[in-house]
Structure 1
């Protein structure tokens, strides 16, 4: 039984690429495709057609949610992130840290 536990401890971590409380903002198809590649198979390139500003954030179980910015804030105000306990981060800044 102990060998099974050792194998479990050495398996690759499946932690989410977007930390809790962070909202990654992006607006190009290229940025989404980079996010999709980094998502460990959760999203496929070009599976969402980007036609405006989008927000990616992790939920309580570590899944990445991608929604249009208008779903977070109807009036375009960044203050809406505070109400959801999210800190907005520019995609390029986030992606550079991910590497």
Structure 2
């Protein structure tokens, strides 16, 4: 009886994990579709939009418990933020 309960719990956990991953994939596809439609109408706001989407996707990945997605997205966001110029350096000099 205990073995069958454990097997059912493990199967249920696998099913939950698969559904979470599927939800994330659908959210990711929706974001990419939005990008395709919106990027042609935007110019410089694309960079800001991309950064906001990275934050959003990493939050959704954490919320759904998909660390395999959340951690690389956070690393990418950190790398991009280090690559961008500092706000104090970009201020006009007199």
TM-score, length-scaled by structure 2: 0.35
The structure with higher relative contact order (CA 8 Å, sep 6+) is 1
Higher-strand-fraction structure: 1
Q: Which structure has the bigger radius of gyration?
A: 2
Higher-helix-fraction structure: 2
TM-score, length-scaled by structure 1: 0.34
